[in-house]
Structure formats: structure tokens, C-alpha cells
Amino acid sequence: MRKKNYLILLLLFVVILLFLFAGLSLAQQVEQTNPGQNTQIQQQKDSEKIFASFKNIKEETGTYVFLAWMWLSIAVLIWILRLKIKEAERLYHLKFFSPPKK
Amino acid sequence: MDRRKMSIRVWFDERLGLSNIVRFLTEKSVPQHKYSFWYYTGSAILLFFIIQVVTGFMLICYYKPTLDGANESVARIITEVPLGWVIRSVHSWSATFMIAFAFIHLFGIWIVKSYQRSRELTWMTGFFLLIISLLFGFTGYLLPWDELSLSATKVGTDIPRSIPVVGAWVTKLLRGGEDVTSDTITRFFGIHVSILPVLLFILLAIHVYLIQRHGMSVPLSEERKDKEVKTLPFWPNFVFREMIVWLILAGILFSVALFFPPSLDKKADLMAPAPEGVKPEWYFLFLFQTLKIFPAKILFIYGDTIAVFVILLAGVLIFFLPLIDNKPGEKKGRAITFLAYLTLLYALLMTIWSLL
């Protein structure tokens, strides 16, 4: 039952993310294919836009390395937390922290 | 007490009484049932808000809330400041995730009816927190001072004008004048970094206090089952689970921010006409589309005025929902639950329609 709940939550989150991205890409597509827009003006507008990007290869590589390290750390931390949860559940069922019965 | 054996922890505990807080958290229990995953949505909002505050502090070091400096300073953050674009992207995406989870949290509470008797004020403070989150998004949207943000703010601050008597005054108060000018940036910046955070902290404190006082609610369908609802201690059992959720969400946020950073449009020109197809941020799209579907006039009243009143009425009804839904187990309660799904569907459909 618990796995089912996690799956539902994950699915819901993925659906919302997909919805957001679909919305964003749809909006971009509509903007690109909108009839009657002067392509020259559009190109000029695009050239005046500032797009965020890596400044050099060093920054790009460093960021990807950081991303990999981040997900690896998250995986390790989740593994540790799962062990701690198991231990906490075990102690809870043993009533380890409950006050002694009088 | 033997001072030689006194540890730092004991020193702080004597002065702050931390062990009482830990004892309270250990004794606090969280119900375990098939709807328990909804309990994680509230803390997810808190995570994104903390990220907003941290990245906001970093951005404030370089941002200039003036007519000449706003767009240039954001451009500088993106192009010159080391990894400035990453911080800006995290700030932007964290706002999106925070508001998305605020809506998920609201609909979750509505569907499982956690606002039942004695938790009405928790719902009401939560509703205000959602409004403040939306205002954060609205005020923050103008700050880059590009063409899109200027046009969207002009449209957004024009909407209250359709309210009779006070409408024009509200618009003037928001803009700091008749039109969107440099006064508007300064005003929105002040609201974004000082007034809204203070209001949010006060309401959040009340909201969290009420949750601690009344505990986590159990859905009606679970309460009606014959068997006792299983619980587990908040600390450390539930907190460790929440940490896992936080880690995954933070990982997703940073990954999305790195791969989909927001761009910066051309600097806003107060004299230029609004660009075609101006749209607000995604969380206002369903309201934007609702305003568009109303005709120009209905009988003798302007369509805009009626639309704004309909939206305000819906907001008031949602605010007073716990008092309206006073018999959650009966036919009325089931109808209100169905209304939650209908509202969600309406918002999604209107959002998609506005993007087409």
C-alpha cells in the first residue's frame, strides 16, 4: 500500500512536470508559427534576448560534474536515511523510547 | 551539576529548553494510511520557500530596482556574475515549484477534507499563504524589467480597475501612479523583499502552530474504518522520510534549473506598444483565460467587472470552505469534493486553452 502511495505521488509529480513542459513548449511553438509576424522583427528580438549559458568549457564541465556528484550524494543520503528509518521503526516497535510501565 | 562534564548540548538546553521541543516532536505522531503522501506536500512548499530566500539574498547583492539599472543588473547577473544565471534560474524555477505544490497542497486538503472541525483556521491561514505566494510571483515578474514583464504587469495591474468605486484607486496604489513606471519597480521590489516575506513569516508561524496544536488530520474514509489508524512518531521516523522527499525535490529543481534557465528579453520601453500575445505566468493563465471568455458587456455591466467579481466570489467561497462544508460525510460534503475535482479540471483546461 505504501509503495502504491509513493508511485501515485511520483506519477502525479511527473504528470505536473510534463504538463508544465508541454505548456512551455506549446507556447514556444505557437510563438514560432504565429502567422503575420515579421520574421525580421522576430530575429531582431531574438538577437536582443539574453540567453543564459555556460561562459566556457571549464564552467560547463564543472557544472555537469557537480550535477553527477549531487545525484550520487542524494542516492547515498537516501540509502543512509532508509537505514535510519528502518532502525527508527525497529526501536519504535520495541517501544524503546516509551516511558517504563508503572 | 559538575561543570567539567557539561557538554555544549546541555549548555544550550539549559538556556533554550531544546529538550522540551525534542520531546514534543517525539511525542507528536503522524497517522499512517493510504493518503499519507499528502502530508509531504506542505513541507515541500517550505523547502522551496527556503531556497527562494537563499537565492533571493544572493540576487539582491547585484540587482538594482531602478528604471535604468533593473534590466542591466539582471543582464549582468546572467552574463558576468559567476554562475549568476544558475542562481537566477534556481530562483525562477523554485517559484514555479513552490506555487505548483501550494496548489497541490490546497487541492489535497480540499479532497481529503483536512479542514474539518477545529482545523478551519489552518485552512484559512493556508489560503492566505497561497495568495501571498501568488503575489510573490506577480511582484517578482516585473523585476527584470523586460518587454514581457512590463506588458504582463500593465495587464495585471489594470484588472482591478474594473472593480467599481475602488478599482481605479487599487490600480493606482499598485502602480504608484496612473501608469507602470520606475515607481512601480521600486514599489514591487519593496513589496517583494520586505512586506510579503514579513506577512508570510507571520502567517506561516500561525499556520504551523495550528498544525502542532491540532495534529495531523485523518481523512473521513479512514476514520470510519473499524480498525485503529496506525501512527508513527514525527521525530525521527516521519522527519527522515521528509528528508528523502526534500533531497529528491532539491535534486530535480537544480537539474531543471541547469537545463532550462530563463532568458532575459529586451529592456522594456515605456513608449512602445505591448507585444502581441502577452501572457502572464502559468499560475495566472486560468484566471487570464476566464477574463477573456466573458463578453464585453452583459446587460448594462461590463464583462470585465462581472468576471472579476466571479473570481473574487470563488476566492471567498474557497476561503470559507470549512464553514460551508460542515457536514463532510453527507451528500453536501460529497458534492463539495466533486467540486474540487471540477475546479482542478477547469483550471487545467483553461490553462491549456490560454496556451493555444
Encode pLDDT of A16-53 as tens digits. 776 666 666 666 655 555 544 555 555 555 567 888 88
Encode pLDDT of B236-287 as tens digits. 889 999 999 999 999 999 999 999 999 998 888 888 777 777 788 889 989 8
Residues in B touching A68 (Cβ below 8 Å): none
- For CA atoms B343, B347, B349, B354, give the dihedral sign: positive
**pLDDT over 80 (residue B192):** yes
Q: Alpha-carbon Rg of chain A, whole angstroms?
A: 25
Amino acid at B207: H
Choose, out of B263, B269, B289, the residue to mutate when testing the contact with A (most A CBs < 10 Å): B263
Which of B27-41, B65-79, B194-208 has the weakest average pLDDT?
A: B27-41
Quote ipTM for the complex.
0.81
Q: How much is the pLDDT for B141?
A: 93
Q: How much is the pLDDT for A31?
A: 55
Mean pLDDT (chain B) is 89
What is the H or E stretch that residue B86 is in?
helix B84-112
Which carries the bigger pLDDT value, residue A95 or residue B199?
B199
**pLDDT over 60 (residue B46):** yes
What the block records as the C-alpha cell of B293 is: 471568455
In angstroms, rounded to a whole number, what is the distance separating the alpha carbons of residues B152 and B138? 9
Quick one: average pLDDT of B35-62? 93
Question: Parallel, antiparallel, or unpaired for β B297-298 and B230-233?
Answer: unpaired
- What three-state secondary structure class fits B152? helix
Which carries the bigger pLDDT value, residue B211 or residue B225?
B211
Query: CB atoms < 10 A from the CB of B336, how many?
Result: 17
Share of chain B above pLDDT 90, in %: 49
**Bridge partners, B146 (sequence order):** B267
Quick one: average pLDDT of A80-88? 93
Which carries the bigger pLDDT value, residue B221 or residue A23?
B221
DSSP category for residue B330: S
Most confidently predicted of A12-26, B28-42, B45-59: B45-59
Straight-line distance from the first to the last Cα atom of chain A, in angstroms, rounded to the nearest whole number: 37
Q: How much is the pLDDT for A100?
A: 59
Does the beta-carbon distance from B348 to A19 stay under 8 Å?
A: yes
- For CA atoms A97, A99, B3, B8, give the dihedral sign: positive
- From A65, A20, A57, A42, select the one nearest B260 (Cα to Cα): A20
**pLDDT over 80 (residue B2):** no
Q: Which of residues 274-293 of B touch A (CB under 8 A)?
A: 276-277, 279, 282
Alpha carbon separation from B284 to B101, B155, B191, B356 (Å, rounded): 15, 12, 19, 15
In the block, cell 471568455 appears at: B293
Q: How much is the pLDDT for A19?
A: 66
Amino acid at B270: L
Most confidently predicted of B4-13, B90-99, B173-182: B90-99
In angstroms, rounded to a whole number, what is the distance separating the alpha carbons of residues B350 and A22? 14
Alpha carbon separation from B213 to B25, B39, B134 (Å, rounded): 12, 16, 27
Query: CB atoms < 10 A from the CB of B228, how many?
Result: 6
HEC string of chain A equals CHHHHHHHHHHHHHHHHHHHHHHHHHHHHHHHHCCCCCHHHHHHHHHHCECCCCCCHHHHHHHHHHHHHHHHHHHHHHHHHHHHHHHHHHHHHCCCCCCCCC
Q: How much is the pLDDT for B142?
A: 93
**pLDDT over 90 (residue B206):** yes
Does the beta-carbon distance from A34 to B75 stay under 8 Å?
A: no
Choose, out of A4, A5, A47, A92, the residue to mutate when testing the contact with B (most B CBs < 10 Å): A5
Encode pLDDT of B143-178 as tens digits. 999 988 998 898 888 888 888 888 888 899 999 888
Of A8, A31, A71, the CB nearest to B37: A8
Region of B217 (left: φ > 0; alpha: ψ -120 to 50; beta: rest) is beta
